Amino acid sequence: MSKEQWHSWVWIKWKPGTSTTAWEGWKNNASIKGAWSTLGEWDCCLWVNVSGPDELEEFVWKHIRTNQWVQDTKTTWAKKWW
């Protein structure tokens, strides 16, 4: 992770009764650099390689929100300090 570059994450909340394989359609998406199952408010987190907020928003609505099991999403950005 470069100190100069901002990185983006998409947090996903699944709908009740979601299949444990609901995320598999994203497995070969080159823009997704990592995927985690999470505990707490969100069920899944994706590390996404995009160039800026507009591209991230387009990615979320084109690739993530089209998944029938996605209930909600939140995006966050981070830049490495050290």
Q: Which domain holds residue 56?
A: 6-15+29-79
Give 4's pLDDT tier (boundaries 50, 70, 90): low
Give 79's pLDDT tier (boundaries 50, 70, 90): confident
Q: CATH number of the domain at 43, please.
A: 3.30.70.920
| Percent of the chain with pLDDT strictly greater than 90 | 77
Is 37 part of a structural domain of the chain? yes
Specify the pLDDT at position 2.
54
Is 23 part of a structural domain of the chain? no
Is 70 part of a structural domain of the chain? yes
Distance CA 49, CA 51 (A): 7
Is 21 part of a structural domain of the chain? no
DSSP line for 43-70 = SEEEEE--SSHHHHHHHIIIIITTSTTE
Q: What is the pLDDT of residues 35-74, one digit of tens each?
A: 999 999 999 999 999 988 899 999 999 999 999 999 999 9
Q: What is the value of pTM for the model shown?
A: 0.88
Is 59 part of a structural domain of the chain? yes
Domain count, the chain: 1
Is 22 part of a structural domain of the chain? no
